[in-house]
Structure 1
Amino acid sequence: MTDVAAAQDVATQDVRDERGEEGRTLDAVIVTATKRQETLQDVPVAVSVIGQAEIEQSGVVDLIDLQALVPSFRAEQLYSTTNTSFFIRGFGNGGGNTGLEPSVGVFIDGVYRSRSASAMSDLPMLERVEVLRGPQSTIFGKNASAGVVSVVTPKPNFVQKGYVEAGVSNYNGVHTKAFFTGPISDQVAFSLGGSYRKRDGYIDNLELGTKFSDTNRYALRGQLLYTPSENLEFRVIGDVDEIDEACCALINAVEGPTGALVKALGGRIVTGPFDYQTAQNTDPENKVKNQGLSFHADLRLGDVKIESISAVRENRTNNSIDGDFSNLDIFSPLPTDLEIDSVSQEIRASSDYTGPLNWLFGAFYYDESLSQTDLFQHGEDSRAFFEALSGGTGLIGTLEYLSGNVPGTFYAPGTGSVTNYTQNNETLSIFGQLDFDLTDRLTITAGLSYMEDYKSLAIKQSNTDAFSQINLFTVNNGIIPAAFFSSAFQGATGLQATPQNIAFIESVAPGTTAAIQSGVNDALNGLSAFQFMPQLSDFPNGVEGGKTNDSNVDYTLRASYDVNDWLNVYASYATGYKASSFNLTTGTRPIPKDYLRLFANAEPGSVAARLGAGSRFALPEESEAYEAGIKAKGALWEANLALFDQAIENFQATVFLGTSNALANAERQSVKGIEFDGTVSPVEGLTFRASGAYLDAVFDTYTASPEGGDISGTRPGNVSEFYGTLSGTYMWSIKDHDVFIRAEYQYESDVDTERGEGANPVNAILETGETRKRGVNSFSASAGLRVGEIDFTLWGRNLFNDEYPLQNTAAPLQAGSYNAYVNMPRTFGLNARWSF
């Protein structure tokens, strides 16, 4: 855990003023937000930096916990460990659809991580985490239209040192961490670190007596540093980590009209999302293995520095969830197998002249191959559920008989679909930036990047769901509509549907036959909701090429002015870009114009008609941001203020609709706001840090949202108006023992969890439960004591058990019922670290 003395050195340091008297000052924080080493107060970019000491004192273990320390940064983990999305200033995506790459780019030691699953493990040693707000596409090669999270670990040290740590926490949590670094020779040093973390889940599965949302992961990371000369450096980093967890649990938030049917079949609906209880007949499984190797080379030629980062990465993910999220076996466990392999290369050169002009030029290349297989099968209770849903009159059996199928064919256990998606992606970005000092205080920066992004996709499906593949209007020579008509005619007239009787009724009540036929057609069209698994067409095909080839130019213009030695002001304009994304879920459908060409004049009731047009892919995101900021620093305080106006055209949005995910473009989403970050140390050992944000976010234009149609003018879901964090840390010594106490508070104002406000009918349904609004009031604290070389840290997060929903989702095939993901309750623990 935290080396208290070292942590205190990070906060303040003793100095002598110009008169030679001892004083204190806040230590300078070094960042690489512009891919140069600069102090936080000098870099003219809105960036938050969380250092090692603060991370350890706060009990932060992964990027999800980071949102408690950074304003307007939010992390959302939903149905699995791997389904995690990051948001900055209200912009973010990437969950629920592997084909939807995130708008917030994540880099670890300069290596791009394309999916959140590859960024969720513990890191045994951190130097800092930088959160860059606003579009960063000019110098970050891929998917930085909303911002960047950059994780930096320390290089190996030629001074031997390390630590061993162990800890316990509630929910039977245990963890161990260890790190060691030191020299091998005068020119070679290494570091090796590892961690293991295990904790029981905090959501009870009443059906099986098990627990969801646990933690079970390990990580290993090693580095080798070779410095053949003072101007040349090579570094090799290897890492591997594994996750094996039962995450995450959906809890019933609103029980809709179908709840009675579920209960009649022996189902159990557990309401009350903050009772942290559910009932499912299978536990979720999340198994993830990440591994990678990167090679870093730094060469300094006088005032020019050349840097290269080469990396290969591999991700293997196996997820399985209860497809109906109930204790009934409507759907068998739905497994997803995902393989992602990537190669990346970045090379850049930068100058550090004393003259007025400095420059940075570079190129970034990324090559990724992805393969995903999804299995969707009916379970033992599937037929009974759909029979009950259809009215419990034996309709399913009747349709089965009339269509010529043997009894038990429809919704037979084990029938369903197997879908395979393969995607290849190549990206090339060439970028450059010039910094020109017009005066000794005024610097003008101009940056430019050109990016090309190529994707190719293939989809193959094997489908054995018999009911979804028939046309109720035409199967078996149209016997079903004829039988329905005969039944309806006799029910309405008391006569058999013979030609003579039909003619007689028409003679005395013209239009009766047409009205009955219209009712029959409506009934059969209504049954198409039970045929929700139509065969997907192969992709690519004769109409859809299965490829995208995007290119774009982004640029940054910025002016920075040093008013004096302690005050800097800046103004900037920047653009960002994220390429097209494909829908890699069973909700993938041809876009309207392609659908009309593929299935011209599709017969009513046919597979093609029920497949329908939809969202095969989303258009590229294009962002722009205007920003003005002030950065001020005194000996014992510093303060940063940023005002911004940021927008994304064609924001890529995804939503779960009960059995599939839809992918759509919001024509324009924007946010205007203010961000503040400040630190002050009023007396020796005491440091306060406050940060906050005001976000005026809106869908300026969103005319075809999957949630509620036209939701233009509404606030995006889960984007609060006000964010705030406040922390205080006090360090002192008692009889040669270093001690610290720390408290922190996180606030987010109430906001709808779903998009669209009143325009989204889902919000009216959620109003009857507890999960329409999300608001955060969370208090955490920690205390530490050093005895000899051992640091003891007692910590607690969300100590007052603040409760809030993370997201809601439709219950599969249960109209009006909604489930919710909820936040983690109070956690606390004790850690001990021996440093040497």
Structure 2
Amino acid sequence: MKIFSKAAVMGTTAILSGLIAASGALAQVETITVTAQKREQTLQDTPVSVAVVTGEQIEQSQIRDAADLQMLVPSLRVSEFATSTNTEFNLRGIGTSSFNPGLEPSVGVFIDGVYRPRSGSAINDLLSVERVEVIRGPQSTLFGRNTPAGVVSILTQKPEYEFGYTGEVTIGNFGSRILRGTVTGPLSDSMAFRLDATTHTNDGYMTAEDGRAINNRDRQSYRGQLLWNPGDNTEVRVIADFGTIDENCCAAPFAYYDPIDLGAIVGLGGTAVPADPHGGRIAIDGDLNTVLDTSGISFQVDHDFDAFTLTSITAWRNYDEDQNFDADFSDLDLVSDRHIQNQYDSFTQEFRLTSTGDNTIDWMLGGFYYDNQLHFRNSTPYGADARNFFDAASAPSVAALVSSLGLPAGTGGISLLEFFLDMNEGAGVGNFVPLASGSAALPTTPAEGFIDTTHGLISEDYQYDTEAWSIFGQLDFNVTDNFTVTVGGRYSNEDKTMVTQINQPDPMSAFSFLDLAQDLRLVAPGFCNPGLFPVIGGDACAYLVPVVLLGQGATHYPDPLGGAPIPIDPTSPLPSYLAGTAFNPLLGFSAFQNWEPVNAADFPTSRNDTNFSGNIIMSYDVSDTLNVYASYATGFKPGGFNVSTNAAFTGVFEFEEETSSSFEIGMKGALFDNHFAYAVALFDQEIEGFQTNNFVGNGFALENAGSIQVSGLEFEGTWAPTPGLVFTGGFTYLFESKYGDYQFAPCPDGFNGVGVWDAGDPDFALCEVGAERTNTAGVTALFNDLTGRDRGNSEFVGSITGTYTWAVADTMEAFVRAEATNISSFGLMTSQDPRTFANQDGFTMVNGSFGIGADDGRWGLQFWGRNLFEQEYVKGAFPSVGYLGSSVNAYPGDPRTYGVTLRIRG
């Protein structure tokens, strides 16, 4: 096979057997073999929705890691957030946040049959890949780990008994340097080896104001393999790998500055880089560094008996990650560097017995054991500038009250609260005056003040262990030569245990502003005289909130029963029914409360989940070139523990299992004498107990959302109109992607919607102050109800490629290739923030390449470019960390990159 011909025809995704157009006169049919159902089948005969990306495509499209695969598989989304290792895999709009180690992915990643417990362990550069199979929909029967959304299965090249080598050098813009090497060959008549290595570096495409390079690449991967054939019926494959990443990624510049935050940043001497995620600049005073070491070894043994094959895959994997990053993304020290250490050791063992595949009833039976020991540590204390920032940012909103009290101009909210509490403490209010709220006493100001570097998340430490086993099987009833009914099932048992240690002192977050609204007094005689507050009279000890309301011109409270308004009495507390409404001016200070009180005893210590899931598939070969199928499948992901003190936000310390069910009908075929091949699938999928993890400005809210519903149409096709010219394309169109049930969703960041949504907007009526609700965990807060609403996924994602190959001379050939991917608009936040910078408009990405080389593959030179037209887009956005206003940060997409690659083979 010529060096460019095969790759050229494979196009965007190899959807079924056929259409390898050589540079000769006629297109020839070649069978593409996959193992999506754990036995070798042609892609056309596989009755599931599966896309295949070949090793040749990976080379020609300059795919470096798993994140690049989405350019060739429209239903796959892979995104990096915050750090290089926070990678999320998403299929058909369904995926799981990678920001909480207690969550397991909805899309399972397997490399050479070995399950990767965390997606971050699969993001290093790909090595000697034979193909990648992207299998969509629940996969409960055949793969070792049950997955509710799908599987990305990466299969690498085996050692060969003929000596060979491959070398590759790439030079590109942003200082890109990539070196790859592979050597394979025999060690004896029965043993062969393969060695792979790659190093990938670039200078990064963003620059910090202090000159540091950000969003760079610095990663290396090494793999060694042995293939041993002790007899005609036995094959043993040993794979050992090591990978390392040491990168300053990933920057999230401001997309919007709330005026409150902007004024405080500038006022304290910080740098306000223009709010533009695509400006290439960011001001930070800390690190954005991630160091990750991953390693593992696996042993696969296949032995053919007369009627079946025994397969055993044994694997150990280690993951050691150290993150240090500036969570506030500014050059003020608002939040000290977040330091995360994430380590796990896993062991997996899978056994399979598989029939030969040529029986009236074919079968497969297997068992899977999984042991994972996770140790997670995090430290995120307040920074040295946090107190001054909160005071400066809140000063304008309290200026009138500060002036009326005769306090120094510019006094901010923290200082004002300390003044009130110190005044009450000095008068002994909490000791001898009954408190309206029933509290024991008003809080006292700590010696260091309410915001200090000794406050915040000083440390959280979790030892989180999982032990799981499952048995699974599948029967293929070959009713006729053309009609097959497949039935499969899996029983899963999951045990999890956790030991928790917490040190999170934050006195500001420890008290209730509802209680303060009823209990705070103006007790100093100077504040209780007719000259300062004429409405009080005498020297009575007035309650603060009624006095403030009177000072604002209010004379009556509303009657909760709809009767006549109630006159405001400054010597009586605020009625309790108003403490959580806009009549409580202290509620705005809740923006200072970043670390809800929590302790280790709040976290569970053990849980068990069991599940039975399965599938049924009916497939029919209409002809040699047309196959149809219909299927129903269920999937499962166990529940677990919220490995974060953020659990206190929603009260969800333990989340429940996630299950999925999917109906699918599909058709695969070829037309025009195999010049056009296609695959079409209609699907309808529902996820119950969807495990969602949403950023809400000062942390993540993890919970079971209830349910989501996704349905749509997938298409993939290949067309070879003339010898040497091939077009491929595919798309995923979602008819719907909505929440079936999500009653306690996060609200957009911003107190009472100021500057975020229009007053009275019915979509956010439940996010207005006074609309607080109590969720199932007993936490009372502002929650939106997104039941029945669109989830904000792209409605359409499609890609198309065109490749033309021609002979240059007797021993040389060339190709030119273009790729385009169109992604329709999508929301960037689960909270459905309506502002333009919280939503991404539709866009189109275009890649291109030109190559020339020897037709026997000895050498090839490729000139390539990605995002050729410099399309600006963002991959995600979030409410800014450590700020009082509704500022937003966003992760920019990669800019235009280009370079040249030289490959040699022998």
| Alignment partners' CA distance in 2, 1:689 and 1:487 | 81
Residue 684 of structure 2 aligns to a residue in which SS? strand
Q: Which residue of 2 aligns with 1:630?
A: 667
| Alignment partners' CA distance in 1, 2:523 and 2:713 | 63
| Alignment partners' CA distance in 2, 1:663 and 1:221 | 37
With 4-13 and 228-237 compared, the bigger mean Cα shift is at: 4-13
Q: State the superposition RMSD in angstroms.
A: 2.8
Of 584, 587, 592, the residue aligned with 1:530 is 592
Q: Which residue of 2 aligns with 1:595?
A: none
Q: Which residue of 2 aligns with 1:739?
A: 814
| Alignment partners' CA distance in 2, 1:141 and 1:705 | 33
Q: How big is the shift at 1:473?
A: 9.8
Q: Do the aligned partners of 1:168 and 1:174 also contact (CA within 8 Å) in 2?
A: yes
| Alignment partners' CA distance in 2, 1:131 and 1:86 | 11
Q: Which residue of 2 aligns with 1:641?
A: 680
Of 223, 244, 247, the residue aligned with 1:245 is 247
Report the AA paired with residue 803 of structure 2. T
1:115 aligns with 2:122: no
Q: How big is the shift at 1:328?
A: 0.8
Please give the TM-score of this superposition, normalised by the length of structure 2. Answer: 0.83
Q: How big is the shift at 1:480?
A: 8.7
With 123-132 and 320-329 compared, the bigger mean Cα shift is at: 320-329
Equivalences, count: 790
Residue 704 of structure 1 aligns to a residue in which SS? coil
| Alignment partners' CA distance in 2, 1:499 and 1:754 | 50
Of 359, 382, 389, the residue aligned with 2:363 is 359
Q: 1:320 to 1:233 in 2, by over 3 A?
A: same
1:131-150 per-residue CA deviation (whole Å, 9 max, x = no partner) reads: 00111112223241000000
Report the AA paired with residue 871 of structure 2. D
1:689-726 per-residue CA deviation (whole Å, 9 max, x = no partner) reads: 11111112111221111246111222213x21111110
Report the AA paired with residue 830 of structure 2. R
Of 152, 155, 159, the residue aligned with 1:156 is 159
Residue 803 of structure 1 aligns to a residue in which SS? coil
Q: How big is the shift at 1:276?
A: 2.6
Q: Which residue of 1 aligns with 2:850?
A: 783
Of 464, 474, 483, the residue aligned with 1:442 is 483
Of 278, 281, 286, the residue aligned with 1:282 is 286
Of 10, 27, 30, the residue aligned with 1:27 is 30
- Equivalent positions of 1:814-825 (< 5 A) are 814-825=884-895
Q: Do the aligned partners of 1:627 and 1:645 also contact (CA within 8 Å) in 2?
A: yes
Q: 1:418 to 1:227 in 2, by over 3 A?
A: same
With 103-112 and 265-274 compared, the bigger mean Cα shift is at: 265-274
Report the AA paired with residue 212 of structure 1. I
Q: 1:488 to 1:139 in 2, by over 3 A?
A: farther
Q: Do the aligned partners of 1:124 and 1:193 also contact (CA within 8 Å) in 2?
A: yes
Q: Do the aligned partners of 1:124 and 1:178 also contact (CA within 8 Å) in 2?
A: no
Q: How big is the shift at 1:331?
A: 1.3
1:560 aligns with 2:630: no
Q: 1:299 to 1:501 in 2, by over 3 A?
A: closer
Q: How big is the shift at 1:27?
A: 1.7
Q: 1:752 to 1:517 in 2, by over 3 A?
A: closer
Q: Which residue of 1 aligns with 2:266?
A: 263
Q: Which residue of 2 aligns with 1:807?
A: 876
Of 337, 341, 344, the residue aligned with 1:340 is 344
Report the AA paired with residue 773 of structure 1. Q
Q: 1:501 to 1:438 in 2, by over 3 A?
A: closer
1:545-564 per-residue CA deviation (whole Å, 9 max, x = no partner) reads: 42221111111111111111
Report the AA paired with residue 444 of structure 1. V
- Equivalent positions of 1:658-677 (< 5 A) are 658-677=697-716
Q: Do the aligned partners of 1:473 and 1:481 also contact (CA within 8 Å) in 2?
A: no
Q: 1:373 to 1:297 in 2, by over 3 A?
A: same
Q: Do the aligned partners of 2:390 and 2:884 also contact (CA within 8 Å) in 1?
A: no
Residue 720 of structure 1 aligns to a residue in which SS? coil
| Alignment partners' CA distance in 1, 2:92 and 2:512 | 48
Residue 25 of structure 1 aligns to a residue in which SS? coil
1:657-706 per-residue CA deviation (whole Å, 9 max, x = no partner) reads: 11110012222211111111111222222221111111121112211112
Q: How big is the shift at 1:353?
A: 4.8
Q: Which residue of 2 aligns with 1:55?
A: 58
Q: Do the aligned partners of 2:689 and 2:705 also contact (CA within 8 Å) in 1?
A: yes
Q: Do the aligned partners of 2:9 and 2:726 also contact (CA within 8 Å) in 1?
A: no
Residue 59 of structure 2 aligns to a residue in which SS? helix
Residue 273 of structure 1 aligns to a residue in which SS? coil
Report the AA paired with residue 795 of structure 1. W
1:188 aligns with 2:227: no
With 400-409 and 426-435 compared, the bigger mean Cα shift is at: 400-409
1:118-168 per-residue CA deviation (whole Å, 9 max, x = no partner) reads: 000112200000000111112223241000000000111101111111111
Of 443, 449, 452, the residue aligned with 2:493 is 452
Residue 651 of structure 2 aligns to a residue in which SS? coil
| Alignment partners' CA distance in 1, 2:629 and 2:304 | 30
Q: Which residue of 1 aligns with 2:828?
A: 753
Report the AA paired with residue 802 of structure 2. G
Q: Do the aligned partners of 1:3 and 1:835 also contact (CA within 8 Å) in 2?
A: no
Q: How big is the shift at 1:267?
A: 2.2
Residue 95 of structure 2 aligns to a residue in which SS? coil
Q: 1:662 to 1:395 in 2, by over 3 A?
A: closer
| Alignment partners' CA distance in 2, 1:314 and 1:643 | 39
| Alignment partners' CA distance in 1, 2:393 and 2:796 | 44
Q: Which residue of 1 aligns with 2:309?
A: 305
Report the AA paired with residue 707 of structure 2. R
1:614 aligns with 2:651: yes
Residue 96 of structure 1 aligns to a residue in which SS? coil
Q: Do the aligned partners of 2:611 and 2:636 also contact (CA within 8 Å) in 1?
A: yes
Q: How big is the shift at 1:496?
A: 7.6
With 458-467 and 270-279 compared, the bigger mean Cα shift is at: 458-467
Q: Do the aligned partners of 1:774 and 1:805 also contact (CA within 8 Å) in 2?
A: no
Q: Do the aligned partners of 1:157 and 1:191 also contact (CA within 8 Å) in 2?
A: yes
Q: 1:473 to 1:484 in 2, by over 3 A?
A: farther
Q: 1:298 to 1:613 in 2, by over 3 A?
A: same
Q: Which residue of 2 aligns with 1:599?
A: none
| Alignment partners' CA distance in 1, 2:8 and 2:827 | 41
Q: How big is the shift at 1:116?
A: 1.5
1:705 aligns with 2:745: yes
Q: Do the aligned partners of 2:19 and 2:677 also contact (CA within 8 Å) in 1?
A: no
Report the AA paired with residue 366 of structure 1. Y
Q: 1:26 to 1:743 in 2, by over 3 A?
A: farther
Query: Gaps (5+ residues) in structure 1?
Result: 16-20, 590-611
Q: Do the aligned partners of 2:341 and 2:377 also contact (CA within 8 Å) in 1?
A: yes
Q: 1:693 to 1:486 in 2, by over 3 A?
A: farther
| Alignment partners' CA distance in 2, 1:569 and 1:487 | 86
Q: Which residue of 2 aligns with 1:314?
A: 318
Report the AA paired with residue 732 of structure 1. W
Please give the TM-score of this superposition, normalised by the length of structure 1. Answer: 0.89
Residue 630 of structure 1 aligns to a residue in which SS? strand
Q: How big is the shift at 1:46?
A: 0.3
| Alignment partners' CA distance in 2, 1:749 and 1:290 | 36
Q: 1:9 to 1:407 in 2, by over 3 A?
A: closer
Report the AA paired with residue 435 of structure 1. D
| Alignment partners' CA distance in 2, 1:389 and 1:14 | 65
Q: How big is the shift at 1:635?
A: 3.2
| Alignment partners' CA distance in 2, 1:76 and 1:8 | 27
Report the AA paired with residue 412 of structure 1. D
| Alignment partners' CA distance in 2, 1:112 and 1:487 | 71
Q: 1:119 to 1:358 in 2, by over 3 A?
A: same
| Alignment partners' CA distance in 1, 2:283 and 2:9 | 50
Q: 1:413 to 1:7 in 2, by over 3 A?
A: same
Q: How big is the shift at 1:286?
A: 0.8
| Alignment partners' CA distance in 2, 1:320 and 1:14 | 50
| Alignment partners' CA distance in 1, 2:821 and 2:21 | 31
Q: Do the aligned partners of 2:254 and 2:888 also contact (CA within 8 Å) in 1?
A: yes
| Alignment partners' CA distance in 2, 1:753 and 1:440 | 49
Q: 1:650 to 1:464 in 2, by over 3 A?
A: closer
Report the AA paired with residue 209 of structure 1. G
